[in-house]
Amino acid sequence: MKRFASIIAALALLCGCLLFSAGAAADPASAAGLKFKPDGTFKIIQVSDLQEIYISSTITGDFLYDLAKREKPDLFVLAGDNISSGAANWGIPFVSKIWIKTGIDGYMNVFDKIYKDFGIPVTMVYGNHDAEIGPDTITRAEMFELYARHESFIGWMSEADAGTDDELGPHCGTHNLLVYDKAGTAPKFNIWMFDSGSYDPRDNYSAVQAPQIEWFKAVNAATGKLPSISFQHIIVPEIFDFLTPAAEGDANIFSRGFVDADGNAYTKYISQTLPAGVKGVMRETPCPGSYNYGQYDALNGAGSVLAMFFGHDHVNTFELLRPGTDLVNSPCSGFGSYGDIDLRGVRVITLKESDLSTYETWCISYQGFYGESALRGLRLQMFETLRAAATIFDVFTFKPLFGILGLFG
């Protein structure tokens, strides 16, 4: 039955591909209206692990707006743990839903302002914390609708997640977005957005699963295997195969538990030192799911996916270049959880229509973006110390002061 459903889905997608190639916006992936700039570039800013619920950090809202103004991206991507829904567990579903809506609106209102002022849309995927409150209070689909109410949001729910299994309900919101040439006449690039889930039956992190992988294969074929990149929250298990191997008992190692196809548990070990030539840092253990459903093999085997971008591990920013599909981790962007002052920020990815076989990427930290300003430095240190709670003090101190000085848009 699943195989039959996959065939039907592939045929439907193929028909959609034929329609939009004739000039019509036949599906949500093309209806988003993304295209390369007149100069032939397309820029994405990845925002990961905002991870707040009660207070949306004022400094983060300012940072995102200032980034939009200076960097002029074409798309923002929220790469999961956008909120920490478990913190809203008051035991009263109605009250909890209000808090979750407040948490989502806190940042989506910022993106709506960015969209109004600069025309830059946003899409998103979930992380493990987004749905922690559980489907008995609010489902992923219901939460997705809270995002969809915002004018800046261009994400959509595909059929990819049907049949996925997670301790906190089925996955949701896996989708793709097509980027057209600068004339807006033909799709040139694909952006894949995968919900990597929350937790598996062993209470370890989840992963992108078989139905989503089959959906990718069908859509990739239907859209002509365009060059592409992907975004998701939780990194793939292969990260422990591609970094420097180590053995149990070695000094300075990271370890992670996995489960094989027969249900047997085992452990892998890697060195804490990144291989020579790898850009970025690895300050904590990469945390993939325990089960491997074959996502990396599928994307790498497609021959069209340049790189996979992840969040989840807040203080890892490595860019692991592979013969096929690269693996790139991005830092946390918000103040709802742990992070390092020199890393906390966003990742920028730039594409060029003239050469879609490659991409450029770099990170921008709050510290680096705001430079040597003493006032900005004091404000940042306050947030690093108090995290999101600093907003309570910020609205009476730095925020009005900077407004008077005209330091924020």
**The predicted structure's pLDDT at residue 407:** 61
Architecture of domain 28-242+276-369: 4-Layer Sandwich (3.60)
User: Partners of 268 in the beta sheet?
Assistant: 256
Is 208:193 a contact under the CB 8 Å cutoff? no
pLDDT, tens digit (0-9, with 9 covering 90-100), for 219-240: 999 999 999 999 999 999 999 9
Q: Would the pLDDT of 347 be above 60?
A: yes
- What is the DSSP secondary-structure string of 48-63? ----BSS---HHHHHH
pTM above 0.75, yes or no: yes
Mean pLDDT computed over 388-403: 92
pLDDT, tens digit (0-9, with 9 covering 90-100), for 15-43: 434 333 333 346 899 988 999 999 999 99
Mean pLDDT computed over 7-13: 41
102: left (phi over 0), alpha (psi -120 to 50) or beta: alpha
SS3 of 75, please? strand
Burial of 354 (0-12, 13-18, 19+ CB in 10 A): exposed
Chain centroid to CA 409: 26
Spans of all domains in the chain: 28-242+276-369, 370-409
- What is the DSSP secondary-structure string of 331-347? ---SSSS---TTT-EEE
User: Partners of 205 in the beta sheet?
Assistant: 199
Q: Would the pLDDT of 130 be above 70?
A: yes
Is 350:36 a contact under the CB 8 Å cutoff? no
277: left (phi over 0), alpha (psi -120 to 50) or beta: left
pLDDT, tens digit (0-9, with 9 covering 90-100), for 176-195: 999 999 999 999 999 999 99
Question: Where do we find the tokens 């960097």?
Answer: 71
pLDDT band at residue 406 under the 50/70/90 scheme: confident
Question: Where do we find the tokens 């820029």?
Answer: 43
* Residue 75, number of CB atoms within 10 A of its CB: 20
Question: Where do we find the tokens 């997670």?
Answer: 166
What whole-number distance in Å separates Cα of residue 60 and Cα of residue 335?
A: 8
Beta strands, E only, 69-128: 75-79, 122-125
